Amino acid sequence: MDLSDHRKEYATHGLDRDELLPCPLAQFKVWFEQAKSAGIIEPNAMVLSTIDDAGAPHSRTVLLKAAEDRGLTFFTNYHSRKGLQLDHEPRASLLFPWYGLERQIHISGIVTKTSEEESIAYFAKRPYGSQLGALASDQSEVIADRSVLEVRLAELKAKYPEGKVPKPQNWGGYRLIPDTYEFWQGRLNRLHDRFLYTSSAGSWGIKRLSP
């Protein structure tokens, strides 16, 4: 499959230094709201990249559930592949690929677990089916076929009525505490606009990067 001639010119927007807010989280929120307004499908979908104990990278899409001064939060199974990798190496990165706006945001930092109270509170807000699914799936484990999941789901549905599903002990939140943010805006001739925020002594510096 030859894709060498498959390309698109980015000409929708530009990004100037004086457009950027001093706080990267505030800038993230501005771009996030613009992604929502533009109709980007699941603008909170982000690519989480982790490292295994052999040093190999792994990436998958997860959903951002909170963006606050204390960090960016998502929830998952602690015994999943990503959970085990974060236990081994707590550094990770997040990528928001908003192709419809010809934009990307890349964020890196240290990941910590949220409190059990936060995890319980969020689990209680999940749809009934998602709660049952968290109990039914031993995430990342090998199974014979889909019927294993369907049988388990039916058993749990019979056991736990809506509003009574307990949070699994191995399920909860992670919070990435950023030390870098990069805002990328596509431009003509592949001369894209890239700005890197880095944290130092409690404040943020901003530098333009060559594309």
Give the catalytic positions in this structure: 190
In the three-class reduction of DSSP (H, G, I as helix; E, B as strand; rest coil), residue 135 is classed as: helix
The stretches of 126-168 forming alpha helices (DSSP H) are 128-136, 146-159
125: tokens are 């807000």
Q: Which long-range contacts (CB under 8 A, 24 or more apart) does 28-36 make?
A: 28/67, 28/105, 28/107, 28/181, 29/67, 31/98, 31/101, 31/103, 31/105, 31/183, 32/67, 32/96, 34/101, 35/96, 35/98, 35/100, 35/101, 35/103
- The torsion defined by the Cα of 169, 65, 99 and 185, in degrees rounded to 10, comes to -120
In the three-class reduction of DSSP (H, G, I as helix; E, B as strand; rest coil), residue 11 is classed as: coil
18: tokens are 């004086």
